[in-house]
Structure 1
Amino acid sequence: MARSHTPHRTLLALILLGLMEIAFLSLGNWQLDRAAQRESIKAAIDTGRSTPPLRLQSDTAAKHLVPWRPAIAHGVWLHKFTVLLENRNYQGRPGYWVATPLLIDQGANTAVLVLRGWLPRPMRPNEALADVPAPAGEQTINGELLERVPRLFELWSWSDKGATELPATLPDPAKPLPKLQNLDLSDYGRATGLTLVPAVLAEQAVGAGPSGATSKPGQLLQEWPEPSLDADKNRGYALQWFGFATIAAGAWLVIAWRALRRKNQSKTL
Protein backbone atom coordinates (compact mmCIF):
# COMPACT_ATOMS: atom_id res chain seq x y z
CA MET A 1 0.00 0.00 0.00
CA ALA A 2 1.42 3.38 -1.03
CA ARG A 3 2.08 5.92 1.70
CA SER A 4 -0.19 8.98 1.68
CA HIS A 5 2.73 11.33 2.27
CA THR A 6 5.36 11.08 -0.44
CA PRO A 7 8.57 13.15 -0.41
CA HIS A 8 7.47 14.88 -3.62
CA ARG A 9 4.13 15.98 -2.16
CA THR A 10 5.80 17.16 1.01
CA LEU A 11 8.38 19.13 -0.95
CA LEU A 12 5.67 20.68 -3.12
CA ALA A 13 3.64 21.68 -0.06
CA LEU A 14 6.69 23.28 1.56
CA ILE A 15 7.49 25.23 -1.62
CA LEU A 16 3.90 26.47 -1.99
CA LEU A 17 3.72 27.48 1.66
CA GLY A 18 7.08 29.25 1.35
CA LEU A 19 5.83 31.21 -1.67
CA MET A 20 2.63 32.07 0.16
CA GLU A 21 4.67 33.29 3.13
CA ILE A 22 6.73 35.58 0.87
CA ALA A 23 3.60 36.89 -0.91
CA PHE A 24 1.71 37.60 2.33
CA LEU A 25 4.68 39.39 3.88
CA SER A 26 5.13 41.47 0.70
CA LEU A 27 1.46 42.46 0.69
CA GLY A 28 1.60 43.36 4.37
CA ASN A 29 4.68 45.55 3.84
CA TRP A 30 3.01 47.15 0.81
CA GLN A 31 0.01 48.10 2.97
CA LEU A 32 2.35 49.60 5.56
CA ASP A 33 4.02 51.63 2.80
CA ARG A 34 0.59 52.86 1.66
CA ALA A 35 -0.20 53.88 5.24
CA ALA A 36 3.09 55.80 5.44
CA GLN A 37 2.34 57.54 2.13
CA ARG A 38 -1.08 58.61 3.34
CA GLU A 39 0.38 59.94 6.57
CA SER A 40 2.95 61.86 4.53
CA ILE A 41 0.18 63.36 2.37
CA LYS A 42 -1.79 64.34 5.47
CA ALA A 43 1.28 66.01 6.95
CA ALA A 44 1.84 67.90 3.68
CA ILE A 45 -1.79 69.05 3.63
CA ASP A 46 -1.64 70.20 7.26
CA THR A 47 1.64 72.02 6.62
CA GLY A 48 0.36 73.72 3.48
CA ARG A 49 -2.96 74.82 4.95
CA SER A 50 -1.28 76.19 8.06
CA THR A 51 1.06 78.37 5.97
CA PRO A 52 0.07 82.05 5.56
CA PRO A 53 -1.69 82.86 2.27
CA LEU A 54 0.58 83.63 -0.66
CA ARG A 55 -0.07 86.41 -3.15
CA LEU A 56 1.01 85.09 -6.53
CA GLN A 57 3.33 87.31 -8.57
CA SER A 58 5.29 86.71 -11.75
CA ASP A 59 8.49 86.52 -9.69
CA THR A 60 7.17 84.27 -6.90
CA ALA A 61 9.90 81.78 -6.07
CA ALA A 62 9.11 78.10 -6.57
CA LYS A 63 10.03 77.34 -2.95
CA HIS A 64 6.98 79.33 -1.83
CA LEU A 65 4.58 77.35 -4.03
CA VAL A 66 3.84 74.81 -1.32
CA PRO A 67 1.04 72.37 -2.21
CA TRP A 68 -2.22 73.00 -0.30
CA ARG A 69 -1.10 76.49 0.68
CA PRO A 70 -3.79 79.18 0.47
CA ALA A 71 -3.04 81.62 -2.32
CA ILE A 72 -4.46 84.75 -3.91
CA ALA A 73 -4.07 85.80 -7.53
CA HIS A 74 -5.11 89.09 -9.12
CA GLY A 75 -5.46 89.50 -12.86
CA VAL A 76 -7.72 89.02 -15.86
CA TRP A 77 -9.13 85.79 -17.28
CA LEU A 78 -7.85 84.55 -20.61
CA HIS A 79 -11.07 82.80 -21.61
CA LYS A 80 -9.83 81.97 -25.10
CA PHE A 81 -7.45 79.44 -23.52
CA THR A 82 -10.10 77.64 -21.45
CA VAL A 83 -10.06 73.83 -21.58
CA LEU A 84 -12.40 71.22 -20.09
CA LEU A 85 -10.99 68.27 -18.18
CA GLU A 86 -13.10 65.18 -18.81
CA ASN A 87 -14.37 62.45 -16.47
CA ARG A 88 -14.32 64.61 -13.36
CA ASN A 89 -17.39 63.33 -11.58
CA TYR A 90 -19.18 64.97 -8.71
CA GLN A 91 -21.31 62.79 -6.41
CA GLY A 92 -21.69 60.23 -9.19
CA ARG A 93 -22.63 62.79 -11.84
CA PRO A 94 -20.36 62.98 -14.90
CA GLY A 95 -18.89 66.34 -15.73
CA TYR A 96 -15.85 68.49 -16.41
CA TRP A 97 -13.41 70.64 -14.53
CA VAL A 98 -13.05 74.06 -16.12
CA ALA A 99 -9.44 75.26 -16.36
CA THR A 100 -8.66 78.85 -17.38
CA PRO A 101 -5.42 80.84 -17.08
CA LEU A 102 -5.45 84.08 -15.12
CA LEU A 103 -3.00 86.65 -16.48
CA ILE A 104 -1.27 88.13 -13.43
CA ASP A 105 1.49 90.09 -15.21
CA GLN A 106 0.79 91.38 -18.70
CA GLY A 107 4.30 92.72 -19.24
CA ALA A 108 5.91 89.37 -18.43
CA ASN A 109 3.06 87.42 -20.06
CA THR A 110 2.81 85.41 -16.85
CA ALA A 111 -0.32 83.55 -15.87
CA VAL A 112 -1.45 80.96 -13.35
CA LEU A 113 -3.67 78.08 -14.43
CA VAL A 114 -6.83 78.07 -12.32
CA LEU A 115 -9.15 75.12 -11.79
CA ARG A 116 -12.33 77.15 -11.67
CA GLY A 117 -14.89 74.50 -10.79
CA TRP A 118 -17.11 71.65 -11.95
CA LEU A 119 -19.52 71.74 -14.88
CA PRO A 120 -22.13 68.99 -15.49
CA ARG A 121 -21.88 66.99 -18.67
CA PRO A 122 -24.94 66.93 -20.98
CA MET A 123 -26.56 63.50 -20.76
CA ARG A 124 -29.86 63.83 -22.66
CA PRO A 125 -30.21 63.95 -26.46
CA ASN A 126 -29.89 67.48 -27.83
CA GLU A 127 -28.87 68.76 -24.39
CA ALA A 128 -26.27 71.50 -24.66
CA LEU A 129 -23.32 72.13 -22.41
CA ALA A 130 -24.01 74.87 -19.89
CA ASP A 131 -22.30 78.16 -20.58
CA VAL A 132 -18.93 78.59 -18.94
CA PRO A 133 -18.99 81.82 -16.90
CA ALA A 134 -16.74 84.40 -18.52
CA PRO A 135 -16.43 87.44 -16.25
CA ALA A 136 -14.49 90.35 -17.75
CA GLY A 137 -12.18 92.80 -16.09
CA GLU A 138 -9.77 92.36 -13.22
CA GLN A 139 -10.47 89.51 -10.83
CA THR A 140 -9.15 88.45 -7.44
CA ILE A 141 -9.11 84.67 -7.10
CA ASN A 142 -8.72 82.80 -3.82
CA GLY A 143 -7.79 79.15 -3.67
CA GLU A 144 -5.31 76.46 -2.77
CA LEU A 145 -2.11 75.62 -4.59
CA LEU A 146 -1.65 72.23 -6.21
CA GLU A 147 1.58 70.87 -7.62
CA ARG A 148 -0.15 69.86 -10.88
CA VAL A 149 -3.54 69.18 -12.37
CA PRO A 150 -4.69 65.90 -10.73
CA ARG A 151 -4.30 63.13 -13.28
CA LEU A 152 -6.64 60.33 -14.32
CA PHE A 153 -5.50 57.07 -15.89
CA GLU A 154 -6.29 56.95 -19.60
CA LEU A 155 -7.27 53.46 -20.72
CA TRP A 156 -7.08 54.50 -24.34
CA SER A 157 -3.83 56.47 -24.13
CA TRP A 158 -1.79 53.86 -26.04
CA SER A 159 -4.24 53.20 -28.84
CA ASP A 160 -5.98 56.54 -29.36
CA LYS A 161 -3.85 59.29 -27.89
CA GLY A 162 -5.36 61.94 -30.14
CA ALA A 163 -8.77 61.49 -28.53
CA THR A 164 -7.76 63.64 -25.55
CA GLU A 165 -4.68 65.38 -26.90
CA LEU A 166 -4.13 69.07 -26.30
CA PRO A 167 -4.12 71.08 -29.56
CA ALA A 168 -0.66 72.22 -30.61
CA THR A 169 -1.79 75.85 -30.50
CA LEU A 170 -4.49 77.54 -28.48
CA PRO A 171 -6.98 78.90 -29.19
CA ASP A 172 -7.85 76.30 -31.84
CA PRO A 173 -10.66 77.39 -34.22
CA ALA A 174 -11.56 73.73 -34.79
CA LYS A 175 -11.94 73.13 -31.04
CA PRO A 176 -13.06 76.36 -29.39
CA LEU A 177 -13.46 74.55 -26.06
CA PRO A 178 -11.03 71.60 -26.06
CA LYS A 179 -11.90 68.56 -23.95
CA LEU A 180 -9.08 66.38 -22.68
CA GLN A 181 -8.46 63.85 -19.96
CA ASN A 182 -5.24 65.20 -18.44
CA LEU A 183 -3.36 68.45 -18.75
CA ASP A 184 0.38 68.93 -18.37
CA LEU A 185 1.51 72.46 -17.49
CA SER A 186 4.54 72.42 -19.79
CA ASP A 187 2.43 71.29 -22.77
CA TYR A 188 -0.21 73.88 -21.95
CA GLY A 189 2.40 76.63 -21.71
CA ARG A 190 3.76 75.76 -25.16
CA ALA A 191 0.26 75.67 -26.67
CA THR A 192 -0.75 79.04 -25.24
CA GLY A 193 2.60 80.83 -25.39
CA LEU A 194 2.16 81.87 -21.75
CA THR A 195 4.75 81.83 -19.02
CA LEU A 196 2.97 79.78 -16.39
CA VAL A 197 3.49 79.81 -12.65
CA PRO A 198 4.75 76.24 -11.89
CA ALA A 199 1.67 75.41 -9.83
CA VAL A 200 -2.10 75.20 -10.20
CA LEU A 201 -4.63 77.23 -8.23
CA ALA A 202 -7.82 75.39 -7.24
CA GLU A 203 -10.32 78.22 -6.84
CA GLN A 204 -12.37 78.48 -3.67
CA ALA A 205 -15.13 80.81 -2.68
CA VAL A 206 -14.21 83.33 0.00
CA GLY A 207 -15.14 81.86 3.37
CA ALA A 208 -15.51 78.30 2.05
CA GLY A 209 -14.08 75.31 3.90
CA PRO A 210 -11.01 73.29 2.81
CA SER A 211 -12.94 71.64 -0.02
CA GLY A 212 -13.91 75.05 -1.41
CA ALA A 213 -17.56 74.06 -1.72
CA THR A 214 -19.89 76.67 -3.19
CA SER A 215 -23.03 76.49 -5.27
CA LYS A 216 -24.11 80.07 -5.93
CA PRO A 217 -26.36 80.50 -8.97
CA GLY A 218 -24.43 81.20 -12.14
CA GLN A 219 -21.16 79.95 -10.67
CA LEU A 220 -19.22 76.77 -11.18
CA LEU A 221 -19.38 74.22 -8.39
CA GLN A 222 -16.14 74.36 -6.42
CA GLU A 223 -15.88 71.26 -4.27
CA TRP A 224 -12.54 69.59 -4.82
CA PRO A 225 -11.94 65.93 -3.93
CA GLU A 226 -9.74 65.27 -0.92
CA PRO A 227 -7.06 62.55 -1.00
CA SER A 228 -7.86 59.38 0.91
CA LEU A 229 -6.04 59.69 4.24
CA ASP A 230 -7.31 56.63 6.14
CA ALA A 231 -3.96 55.10 7.07
CA ASP A 232 -5.60 52.96 9.77
CA LYS A 233 -7.41 50.97 7.09
CA ASN A 234 -4.07 50.11 5.46
CA ARG A 235 -2.65 49.06 8.82
CA GLY A 236 -5.66 46.81 9.33
CA TYR A 237 -5.09 45.18 5.94
CA ALA A 238 -1.39 44.79 6.79
CA LEU A 239 -2.30 43.04 10.03
CA GLN A 240 -4.49 40.61 8.09
CA TRP A 241 -1.73 39.80 5.61
CA PHE A 242 0.80 39.28 8.41
CA GLY A 243 -1.74 36.99 10.10
CA PHE A 244 -1.99 34.92 6.91
CA ALA A 245 1.82 34.86 6.78
CA THR A 246 1.93 33.57 10.35
CA ILE A 247 -0.53 30.79 9.49
CA ALA A 248 1.51 29.83 6.41
CA ALA A 249 4.70 29.79 8.48
CA GLY A 250 3.05 27.61 11.13
CA ALA A 251 1.79 25.16 8.49
CA TRP A 252 5.29 25.05 6.93
CA LEU A 253 6.84 24.19 10.31
CA VAL A 254 4.25 21.48 11.03
CA ILE A 255 4.73 19.81 7.64
CA ALA A 256 8.53 20.06 7.89
CA TRP A 257 8.51 18.61 11.44
CA ARG A 258 6.27 15.69 10.43
CA ALA A 259 8.42 14.96 7.39
CA LEU A 260 11.54 15.00 9.54
CA ARG A 261 9.87 12.70 12.12
CA ARG A 262 8.83 10.21 9.42
CA LYS A 263 12.35 10.24 8.08
CA ASN A 264 13.79 9.50 11.50
CA GLN A 265 11.26 6.73 12.11
CA SER A 266 12.10 5.08 8.77
CA LYS A 267 15.77 5.01 9.76
CA THR A 268 15.02 3.13 12.97
CA LEU A 269 12.96 0.40 11.23
Structure 2
Amino acid sequence: MVRPHSMLRTLVALLLLAIVVLTGLKLGAWQLSRASERMELAATIAAGRASTPLQLNANTPASQFSPWRSASASGSWLHQYTVLIDNRNHGGKPGYWVATPLLLPQDASTLAPNQPSTALLVLRGWIPRPVHPNQAQQPIPTPDGMQTLNGELLDHVPRLIQLWSWSKNPSAQLPDTWPTDSTAVVQNLELNELSRVSGLHFLPTILAAKPDPASGLLQDWPEPLLDADKNRGYALQWFGFAAIAGIAWLIVLWRALKRQRQRRSSNI
Protein backbone atom coordinates (compact mmCIF):
# COMPACT_ATOMS: atom_id res chain seq x y z
CA MET A 1 0.00 0.00 0.00
CA VAL A 2 1.28 3.44 -0.94
CA ARG A 3 1.81 5.63 2.11
CA PRO A 4 -0.30 8.82 1.92
CA HIS A 5 2.51 11.11 3.08
CA SER A 6 4.88 9.69 0.46
CA MET A 7 2.32 10.22 -2.29
CA LEU A 8 1.67 13.76 -1.04
CA ARG A 9 5.37 14.63 -1.14
CA THR A 10 5.61 13.29 -4.67
CA LEU A 11 2.61 15.30 -5.84
CA VAL A 12 3.94 18.48 -4.23
CA ALA A 13 7.36 17.95 -5.82
CA LEU A 14 5.80 17.35 -9.23
CA LEU A 15 3.65 20.47 -8.88
CA LEU A 16 6.55 22.69 -7.83
CA LEU A 17 8.80 21.38 -10.59
CA ALA A 18 6.04 21.93 -13.15
CA ILE A 19 5.71 25.53 -11.95
CA VAL A 20 9.47 26.00 -12.35
CA VAL A 21 9.31 24.57 -15.88
CA LEU A 22 6.45 26.85 -16.92
CA THR A 23 8.03 29.88 -15.27
CA GLY A 24 11.39 29.25 -16.93
CA LEU A 25 9.78 28.81 -20.34
CA LYS A 26 7.70 31.96 -19.93
CA LEU A 27 10.61 34.10 -18.76
CA GLY A 28 12.85 32.70 -21.49
CA ALA A 29 10.26 33.58 -24.12
CA TRP A 30 9.92 37.06 -22.61
CA GLN A 31 13.68 37.60 -22.83
CA LEU A 32 13.63 36.54 -26.49
CA SER A 33 10.82 39.02 -27.06
CA ARG A 34 12.89 41.76 -25.42
CA ALA A 35 15.84 40.83 -27.65
CA SER A 36 13.60 41.12 -30.70
CA GLU A 37 12.34 44.52 -29.55
CA ARG A 38 15.89 45.77 -29.10
CA MET A 39 16.86 44.54 -32.55
CA GLU A 40 13.86 46.35 -34.04
CA LEU A 41 14.78 49.51 -32.13
CA ALA A 42 18.38 49.30 -33.37
CA ALA A 43 17.09 48.98 -36.93
CA THR A 44 14.76 51.96 -36.41
CA ILE A 45 17.61 54.09 -35.06
CA ALA A 46 19.90 53.10 -37.93
CA ALA A 47 17.21 53.83 -40.52
CA GLY A 48 16.36 57.19 -38.95
CA ARG A 49 19.96 58.33 -38.76
CA ALA A 50 20.57 57.22 -42.35
CA SER A 51 17.65 59.32 -43.62
CA THR A 52 18.15 62.66 -45.32
CA PRO A 53 18.14 65.50 -42.74
CA LEU A 54 14.74 67.17 -42.50
CA GLN A 55 14.05 70.89 -42.44
CA LEU A 56 11.06 71.32 -40.14
CA ASN A 57 8.35 73.90 -40.64
CA ALA A 58 4.76 74.36 -39.55
CA ASN A 59 3.46 72.40 -42.55
CA THR A 60 5.81 69.41 -42.45
CA PRO A 61 3.66 66.26 -42.84
CA ALA A 62 3.67 63.80 -39.96
CA SER A 63 4.80 61.02 -42.31
CA GLN A 64 8.24 62.68 -42.36
CA PHE A 65 8.75 62.43 -38.60
CA SER A 66 10.87 59.29 -38.48
CA PRO A 67 12.36 58.72 -35.01
CA TRP A 68 16.11 59.41 -34.80
CA ARG A 69 16.10 61.33 -38.06
CA SER A 70 18.34 64.38 -38.13
CA ALA A 71 16.35 67.58 -38.40
CA SER A 72 16.67 71.33 -38.10
CA ALA A 73 14.17 74.05 -37.29
CA SER A 74 14.04 77.81 -37.03
CA GLY A 75 11.75 79.83 -34.81
CA SER A 76 11.50 81.81 -31.60
CA TRP A 77 11.45 80.41 -28.08
CA LEU A 78 8.28 80.51 -26.00
CA HIS A 79 10.13 80.71 -22.70
CA GLN A 80 6.96 81.17 -20.66
CA TYR A 81 6.07 77.54 -21.48
CA THR A 82 9.41 76.04 -20.46
CA VAL A 83 9.13 72.81 -18.46
CA LEU A 84 11.81 71.13 -16.35
CA ILE A 85 11.75 67.33 -16.49
CA ASP A 86 13.00 66.07 -13.14
CA ASN A 87 15.22 63.14 -12.09
CA ARG A 88 17.34 63.12 -15.24
CA ASN A 89 20.81 62.39 -13.96
CA HIS A 90 24.02 62.99 -15.85
CA GLY A 91 27.37 61.63 -14.75
CA GLY A 92 25.85 60.64 -11.41
CA LYS A 93 24.59 64.18 -10.74
CA PRO A 94 20.88 64.95 -10.34
CA GLY A 95 19.38 67.40 -12.76
CA TYR A 96 16.67 68.41 -15.18
CA TRP A 97 16.02 68.26 -18.88
CA VAL A 98 14.92 71.65 -20.17
CA ALA A 99 12.00 71.47 -22.62
CA THR A 100 10.82 74.63 -24.37
CA PRO A 101 8.37 75.11 -27.27
CA LEU A 102 9.82 76.72 -30.39
CA LEU A 103 7.27 78.84 -32.27
CA LEU A 104 7.58 78.07 -35.96
CA PRO A 105 7.01 80.81 -38.54
CA GLN A 106 3.99 80.25 -40.74
CA ASP A 107 2.46 82.13 -43.63
CA ALA A 108 -0.71 83.78 -42.36
CA SER A 109 -2.43 82.97 -45.65
CA THR A 110 -2.20 79.24 -44.90
CA LEU A 111 -3.77 79.52 -41.45
CA ALA A 112 -7.41 78.54 -41.05
CA PRO A 113 -9.65 80.90 -39.04
CA ASN A 114 -8.94 80.66 -35.28
CA GLN A 115 -6.15 78.15 -35.91
CA PRO A 116 -3.28 78.64 -33.43
CA SER A 117 0.28 78.95 -34.60
CA THR A 118 2.35 75.77 -34.63
CA ALA A 119 5.15 75.05 -32.18
CA LEU A 120 7.82 72.37 -31.89
CA LEU A 121 8.73 70.94 -28.49
CA VAL A 122 12.51 70.95 -28.10
CA LEU A 123 14.56 69.11 -25.51
CA ARG A 124 17.15 71.85 -25.17
CA GLY A 125 19.59 70.19 -22.78
CA TRP A 126 20.46 69.31 -19.19
CA ILE A 127 21.10 71.51 -16.17
CA PRO A 128 22.14 70.37 -12.66
CA ARG A 129 19.68 70.42 -9.80
CA PRO A 130 20.65 72.13 -6.53
CA VAL A 131 21.78 69.53 -4.00
CA HIS A 132 21.81 71.82 -0.95
CA PRO A 133 18.84 73.78 0.45
CA ASN A 134 20.60 77.13 0.09
CA GLN A 135 22.06 76.41 -3.34
CA ALA A 136 20.59 78.50 -6.15
CA GLN A 137 19.22 76.91 -9.29
CA GLN A 138 21.33 77.47 -12.38
CA PRO A 139 19.55 80.06 -14.55
CA ILE A 140 17.95 78.75 -17.72
CA PRO A 141 19.20 80.65 -20.77
CA THR A 142 16.44 82.70 -22.43
CA PRO A 143 17.75 83.88 -25.79
CA ASP A 144 15.40 86.05 -27.83
CA GLY A 145 14.88 86.41 -31.54
CA MET A 146 15.03 83.85 -34.32
CA GLN A 147 16.84 80.64 -33.38
CA THR A 148 18.10 77.84 -35.63
CA LEU A 149 18.48 74.41 -34.05
CA ASN A 150 19.80 71.03 -35.13
CA GLY A 151 18.87 67.76 -33.49
CA GLU A 152 17.28 64.34 -33.78
CA LEU A 153 13.58 63.57 -33.83
CA LEU A 154 11.91 61.51 -31.11
CA ASP A 155 8.34 60.23 -31.10
CA HIS A 156 7.96 61.00 -27.38
CA VAL A 157 9.86 62.39 -24.43
CA PRO A 158 11.71 59.43 -22.82
CA ARG A 159 9.86 58.43 -19.67
CA LEU A 160 10.88 57.39 -16.21
CA ILE A 161 9.18 54.36 -14.70
CA GLN A 162 6.63 55.53 -12.15
CA LEU A 163 5.90 52.88 -9.52
CA TRP A 164 3.14 54.99 -8.00
CA SER A 165 1.52 58.35 -8.32
CA TRP A 166 -0.90 60.36 -6.21
CA SER A 167 -2.74 61.20 -9.41
CA LYS A 168 -3.86 59.12 -12.36
CA ASN A 169 -2.70 61.97 -14.58
CA PRO A 170 1.01 61.41 -15.38
CA SER A 171 1.47 65.13 -16.10
CA ALA A 172 -0.57 66.40 -13.15
CA GLN A 173 2.27 68.72 -12.13
CA LEU A 174 1.75 70.89 -15.19
CA PRO A 175 0.01 74.15 -14.33
CA ASP A 176 -3.60 74.51 -15.39
CA THR A 177 -2.92 77.92 -16.90
CA TRP A 178 0.09 79.77 -18.23
CA PRO A 179 2.14 81.92 -17.74
CA THR A 180 3.07 81.07 -14.15
CA ASP A 181 5.36 82.64 -11.56
CA SER A 182 7.71 79.65 -11.56
CA THR A 183 8.90 77.07 -14.06
CA ALA A 184 6.84 73.88 -14.09
CA VAL A 185 8.63 70.73 -12.92
CA VAL A 186 7.36 67.28 -13.94
CA GLN A 187 8.53 63.68 -13.75
CA ASN A 188 7.33 62.84 -17.26
CA LEU A 189 6.07 65.08 -20.03
CA GLU A 190 3.36 64.11 -22.50
CA LEU A 191 3.05 66.24 -25.62
CA ASN A 192 -0.75 65.97 -25.74
CA GLU A 193 -1.08 67.06 -22.13
CA LEU A 194 1.26 70.01 -22.65
CA SER A 195 -0.78 71.05 -25.66
CA ARG A 196 -4.00 70.84 -23.67
CA VAL A 197 -2.89 72.95 -20.72
CA SER A 198 -0.91 75.49 -22.74
CA GLY A 199 -3.28 75.89 -25.66
CA LEU A 200 -0.39 75.47 -28.10
CA HIS A 201 -0.58 73.40 -31.26
CA PHE A 202 2.47 71.15 -31.55
CA LEU A 203 3.99 69.19 -34.37
CA PRO A 204 3.61 65.50 -33.39
CA THR A 205 7.32 65.03 -32.80
CA ILE A 206 10.08 66.06 -30.40
CA LEU A 207 13.45 67.56 -31.32
CA ALA A 208 16.37 66.56 -29.08
CA ALA A 209 18.95 69.29 -29.64
CA LYS A 210 22.45 68.35 -30.73
CA PRO A 211 25.47 69.64 -28.77
CA ASP A 212 25.80 73.41 -28.95
CA PRO A 213 28.26 75.11 -26.57
CA ALA A 214 26.56 78.45 -27.19
CA SER A 215 23.27 77.17 -25.74
CA GLY A 216 24.52 77.23 -22.14
CA LEU A 217 23.09 73.73 -21.63
CA LEU A 218 24.54 70.22 -21.85
CA GLN A 219 23.24 68.07 -24.70
CA ASP A 220 24.32 64.51 -23.94
CA TRP A 221 21.22 62.38 -24.34
CA PRO A 222 21.25 58.77 -23.09
CA GLU A 223 21.24 56.14 -25.81
CA PRO A 224 18.71 53.29 -25.63
CA LEU A 225 20.00 49.93 -24.44
CA LEU A 226 20.42 47.81 -27.56
CA ASP A 227 22.36 44.77 -26.28
CA ALA A 228 20.06 42.02 -27.56
CA ASP A 229 22.76 39.39 -26.88
CA LYS A 230 22.34 39.98 -23.15
CA ASN A 231 18.64 39.14 -23.41
CA ARG A 232 19.43 36.04 -25.43
CA GLY A 233 21.87 34.99 -22.71
CA TYR A 234 19.20 35.46 -20.06
CA ALA A 235 16.75 33.49 -22.21
CA LEU A 236 19.24 30.62 -22.47
CA GLN A 237 19.60 30.60 -18.68
CA TRP A 238 15.85 30.48 -18.13
CA PHE A 239 15.40 27.73 -20.71
CA GLY A 240 18.25 25.86 -18.99
CA PHE A 241 16.47 26.13 -15.62
CA ALA A 242 13.28 24.90 -17.27
CA ALA A 243 15.12 21.94 -18.83
CA ILE A 244 16.73 20.97 -15.51
CA ALA A 245 13.38 21.21 -13.74
CA GLY A 246 11.76 19.19 -16.53
CA ILE A 247 14.35 16.42 -16.18
CA ALA A 248 13.89 16.45 -12.40
CA TRP A 249 10.11 16.21 -12.92
CA LEU A 250 10.57 13.11 -15.09
CA ILE A 251 12.94 11.54 -12.54
CA VAL A 252 10.53 12.14 -9.65
CA LEU A 253 7.65 10.72 -11.69
CA TRP A 254 9.69 7.70 -12.80
CA ARG A 255 10.75 6.93 -9.21
CA ALA A 256 7.18 7.29 -7.97
CA LEU A 257 5.90 4.90 -10.63
CA LYS A 258 8.75 2.50 -9.90
CA ARG A 259 7.92 2.45 -6.17
CA GLN A 260 4.28 1.89 -7.00
CA ARG A 261 5.12 -1.10 -9.22
CA GLN A 262 7.41 -2.56 -6.56
CA ARG A 263 4.69 -2.30 -3.92
CA ARG A 264 2.19 -3.96 -6.22
CA SER A 265 4.66 -6.78 -6.92
CA SER A 266 5.30 -7.29 -3.21
CA ASN A 267 1.57 -7.54 -2.54
CA ILE A 268 1.04 -10.34 -5.05
- TM-score normalised by length of structure 1: 0.89
Which letter maps to 1:111?
Answer: A
Could you tell me which residue of structure 1 aligns to residue 228 of structure 2? 231
- Say which of 115, 120, 145 aligns to 1:112: 120
Which runs of no fewer than 5 residues in structure 1 stay unpaired?
A: 206-213
Could you tell me which residue of structure 2 aligns to residue 202 of structure 1? 208
Q: C-alpha displacement at 1:98, in angstroms?
A: 0.4
Please state whether the residue corresponding to 1:200 is helix, strand or coil.
strand
- Please give the root-mean-square deviation of Cα atoms over the aligned residues, in Å: 2.1
Which runs of no fewer than 5 residues in structure 2 stay unpaired?
A: 112-116
Please state whether the residue corresponding to 2:84 is helix, strand or coil.
strand
Q: Is the 8 A contact 2:120 2:203 kept in 1?
A: yes
Could you tell me which residue of structure 1 aligns to residue 199 of structure 2? 193
Could you tell me which residue of structure 1 aligns to residue 185 of structure 2? 179
Q: C-alpha displacement at 1:158, in angstroms?
A: 2.8
Q: Is the 8 A contact 2:155 2:206 kept in 1?
A: yes
Could you tell me which residue of structure 2 aligns to residue 168 of structure 1? 176
Residues 1:162 and 1:7: Cα distance change in structure 2 (over 3 Å): closer
Could you tell me which residue of structure 2 aligns to residue 24 of structure 1? 24
Could you tell me which residue of structure 1 aligns to residue 262 of structure 2? 265
- Taking the aligned partners of 1:152 and 1:104, their CA distance within structure 2 comes to 29
Q: Is the 8 A contact 2:171 2:189 kept in 1?
A: no
Please state whether the residue corresponding to 2:104 is helix, strand or coil.
strand
Q: C-alpha displacement at 1:105, in angstroms?
A: 2.4
Q: C-alpha displacement at 1:192, in angstroms?
A: 2.1
- Say which of 144, 151, 162 aligns to 2:152: 144
Could you tell me which residue of structure 2 aligns to residue 92 of structure 1? 92
Q: C-alpha displacement at 1:156, in angstroms?
A: 4.6
Count of paired positions: 257
Could you tell me which residue of structure 1 aligns to residue 69 of structure 2? 69
Could you tell me which residue of structure 2 aligns to residue 208 of structure 1? none
Q: Is the 8 A contact 2:28 2:238 kept in 1?
A: yes
Could you tell me which residue of structure 1 aligns to residue 251 of structure 2? 254
Q: C-alpha displacement at 1:190, in angstroms?
A: 2.1
- Taking the aligned partners of 1:161 and 1:144, their CA distance within structure 2 comes to 28
Which letter maps to 1:170?
Answer: W
Q: Is the 8 A contact 2:81 2:178 kept in 1?
A: yes
Q: C-alpha displacement at 1:220, in angstroms?
A: 0.2
- Taking the aligned partners of 1:127 and 1:6, their CA distance within structure 2 comes to 69
- TM-score normalised by length of structure 2: 0.90
Q: C-alpha displacement at 1:126, in angstroms?
A: 1.6
- Taking the aligned partners of 1:196 and 1:37, their CA distance within structure 2 comes to 28
Please state whether the residue corresponding to 1:199 is helix, strand or coil.
strand
Which letter maps to 1:263?
Answer: Q
Structure 1 runs of 4+ aligned residues shifted over 4 Å read 2-5, 159-164
